[in-house]
Amino acid sequence: MSQEMDTYIKNYVNGELIEPASGNYLDNFEPATGKVYSHLPDSDEKDVEAAVQAAEKAFETWSMTSAADRSKILNKIADLIENNLDDLALAESIDNGKPVKLAKKVDIPRAVSNFRFFATAILHFASETHEMDNFALNFTLRQPIGIVGCISPWNLPLYLFTWKIAPALAAGNCVIAKPSEITPMTAYMLSEICMKAGLPNGVLNIVHGLGPKVGSAITKHEKIRAISFTGGTKTGREISSVAAPMFKKLSLELGGKNPNIIFADCNFDEMLKTTLNSSFSNQGEICLCGPRIFIEKPIYDAFVDKFVKMTKGLIVGDPMEERTKLGAIVSREHQKKILYYVSLAKEEGGEILCGGNISQLNGRCKDGWFVEPTVIQGLPYDCRTNQEEIFGPVVTIMPFEAEEEVIKYANSTEYGLSATVWTDNLQRAHRVARRLQCGIVWINSWLVRDLRTPFGGVKNSGVGREGGWEVLKFFTESKNVTIKL
Ligand code: NAD
């Protein structure tokens, strides 16, 4: 695919790959080397306007296209992503710093599933009728909204981008999408795939560039009637402050600080293995990671001993290498942020049990942005390190004695995205799951995903739910029609 020949990414507007109106480009870095390796359009509101005009025209036919025909095109896109899995995984790894092995196993296969899932879900999506005895019949239409905006982050670039775009298109909308400026490459490759798949011009438009320029132009455009956003809580609040007074539909998937609650009666080995993943997968840069680990006292020492040993054994390395478990941190700024939190943890009285430093690699990666997987103990549940999102390979471990106590700790942050609970006591699993303030609870597991289930958070982790029927309802307007008999 073209990322090797053409290092200047283009916008995808009205079915064509085009330059930004300004003619300006931004640098795009490879986190593993710290070097600029490509450029992306520095687009602005002019590019968004052109995309909206294309989408407006395309909507006239796309909204009238049958679900079966939309489904065929979305399935074709899925097939083409699958056929190009290796290229896309390589591009994702170069762009984001994640191990290429992870991109092959998780990111790109999930992008395929996102398109396949909604290509078929739309064929089964149904609406309701309400009959009023012999007097009247109500039926509810579910119609596409029109033009919708999809804005996504850098941590799971193609995975989260397609998680929004696929249902929006399946439901008959036309889309103005903006990937993160930090990881634009696979979105660019997706635009080429959409052209090959025969997606009609203007149905999907991808405008690259900065959040405050392109993202905010999308948010405030009066013809874009819904915004689906995944990213930080602060950005979500900004988007909301503009879009809510315009009465746009809003779906906001925001930050998290998820608890991992471990009771002494759990399957210890299974828990250890999974906790290592829920702590450090994708360098801890997954909104669903569990960086606050609470351990019931009887197994605290055993946990610390084994977990720290296993963490020390994780290989931080070149994302291209098969044996690498943690790749590079996505940007220099983010590396700095993570290290700031490690120093804050020390100031707050935390003891670093392992890690805590930059990981200095040699050769090709000597100037890359790496951080050692870090385990910290001795901090109270309510200190800043335990309340604020770090979004890196840093976890804190804390002992607890009683169920009531750990529920209080778990619910103490401003966030409420997900939680993990480890116990073999069925009643306790039910009890605790019900009392946790979050949108997703995993019992004796982590990141087991069924795309039919509601996905999203409470409190400052967001508004609305993605996944399954929930997102198809979000991307459609219901209209009730009453017929008097
Ligand atoms: P971010 O908020 O900085 O950026 C996300 C997107 O918003 C980017 O495309 C960015 O360009 C755009 N943006 C920035 N400012 C904007 C503005 N003023 N108006 C419109 N758009 C704007 O987030 P990030 O650093 O890319 O991602 C990390 C964050 O995302 C973390 O907080 C993480 O928890 C969160 N996240 C949440 C989920 C979830 O499902 N809840 C999933 C992944 C990541």
What does the alpha-carbon distance between residue 444 and residue 261 come to, in Å, rounded to a whole number? 10
- Distance in Å, CA 234 to ligand 1 centroid: 9
- % of the chain with per-residue pLDDT over 90: 99
Which CATH number applies to 259-450: 3.40.309.10, 3.40.50.300, 3.10.270.10, 3.40.50.2000?
A: 3.40.309.10
Ligand 1 in reach of 198 Cβ (< 6 A): no
Record the tokens describing residue 455, joined without a space.
């996905």
Query: What is the second-level CATH architecture of the domain 11-254+461-484?
Result: 3-Layer(aba) Sandwich (3.40)
- Locate the ligand 1 atom nearest the alpha carbon of residue 182 and give its number: 26
Ligand 1 in reach of 238 Cβ (< 6 A): yes
Mean pLDDT of 450-463: 98
**Active-site residue, 45 included:** no
Query: CA geometry: angle at 208 spanning 164 and 191, to 5°?
Result: 60
What does the alpha-carbon distance between residue 358 and residue 365 come to, in Å, rounded to a whole number? 13
What does the alpha-carbon distance between residue 480 and residue 341 come to, in Å, rounded to a whole number? 52
Structure letter (DSSP) for residue 316: B
Closest CA to 182 of 216, 215, 148: 215
Query: CA geometry: angle at 253 spanning 250 and 258, to 5°?
Result: 150
Judging by beta carbons within 10 Å of its beta carbon (0-12, 13-18, 19+), is residue 454 exposed, middle or buried?
middle
- Distance in Å, CA 128 to ligand 1 centroid: 35
**Helical (H) or strand (E) element with 395:** strand 394-400
Q: Are strands 136-144 and 129-132 parallel, antiparallel or unpaired?
A: antiparallel
- Distance in Å, CA 228 to ligand 1 centroid: 11
> What would the pLDDT profile of 317-370 be if each residue is shown by its tens digit?
999 999 999 999 999 999 999 999 999 999 999 999 999 999 999 999 999 999
> What would the pLDDT profile of 280-331 be if each residue is shown by its tens digit?
999 999 999 999 999 999 999 999 999 999 999 999 999 999 999 999 999 9
Q: What is the pLDDT of residue 473?
A: 98
Look over the chain and give the mean of its residue pLDDT values, rounded to a whole number.
97
Q: What is the pLDDT of residue 2?
A: 44
Annotate 147-163 with DSSP letters as a single string.
EEEEE--SSSHHHHHHH
> Could you give the 3-state DSSP secondary structure of residue 25?
strand
- Residue with CA at minimum distance from ligand 1 atom 23: 231
Beta strands (DSSP E) in 71-199 are 129-132, 136-144, 147-151, 174-178
Residues belonging to the chain: 485
Decide if pLDDT at 4 tops 70.
Answer: no
What does the alpha-carbon distance between residue 160 and residue 229 come to, in Å, rounded to a whole number? 10
Decide if pLDDT at 6 tops 90.
Answer: no
What does the alpha-carbon distance between residue 172 and residue 178 come to, in Å, rounded to a whole number? 19
Which residues, in sequence order, are CB contacts of 161 under 8 Å at separation 6+?
111, 150, 152, 177, 179, 186, 187, 190
What does the alpha-carbon distance between residue 296 and residue 401 come to, in Å, rounded to a whole number? 6
The tally of CA atoms less than 13 A away on the side-chain side of residue 338 is 29
Ligand 1 in reach of 12 Cβ (< 6 A): no
CB 367 within 8 A of CB 392: no
Judging by beta carbons within 10 Å of its beta carbon (0-12, 13-18, 19+), is residue 69 exposed, middle or buried?
exposed
Structure letter (DSSP) for residue 199: P
> Could you give the 3-state DSSP secondary structure of residue 249?
strand
> What would the pLDDT profile of 147-194 be if each residue is shown by its tens digit?
999 999 999 999 999 999 999 999 999 999 999 999 999 999 999 999
> What would the pLDDT profile of 365-403 be if each residue is shown by its tens digit?
999 999 999 999 999 999 999 999 999 999 999 999 999
Q: What is the pLDDT of residue 7?
A: 86
Q: What is the pLDDT of residue 5?
A: 47
Closest CA to 218 of 477, 185, 231: 231
In which band, very low, low, confident or very high, does the pLDDT at 1 lie, cut at 50, 70 and 90?
Answer: very low
Q: What is the pLDDT of residue 114?
A: 98
- Distance in Å, CA 230 to ligand 1 centroid: 5
Mean pLDDT of 479-483: 98
Closest CA to 394 of 349, 317, 348, 341: 341
What does the alpha-carbon distance between residue 176 and residue 58 come to, in Å, rounded to a whole number? 12
Domain residue limits, the chain? 11-254+461-484, 259-450
Mean pLDDT of 241-258: 98
Return the number of other C-beta atoms located less than 10 Å from residue 402's C-beta. Answer: 10
Which residues, in sequence order, are CB contacts of 40 under 8 Å at separation 6+?
9, 25, 26, 28, 181, 184, 188, 208, 209
**Active-site residue, 322 included:** no
Ligand 1 in reach of 153 Cβ (< 6 A): yes
Ligand 1 in reach of 416 Cβ (< 6 A): no
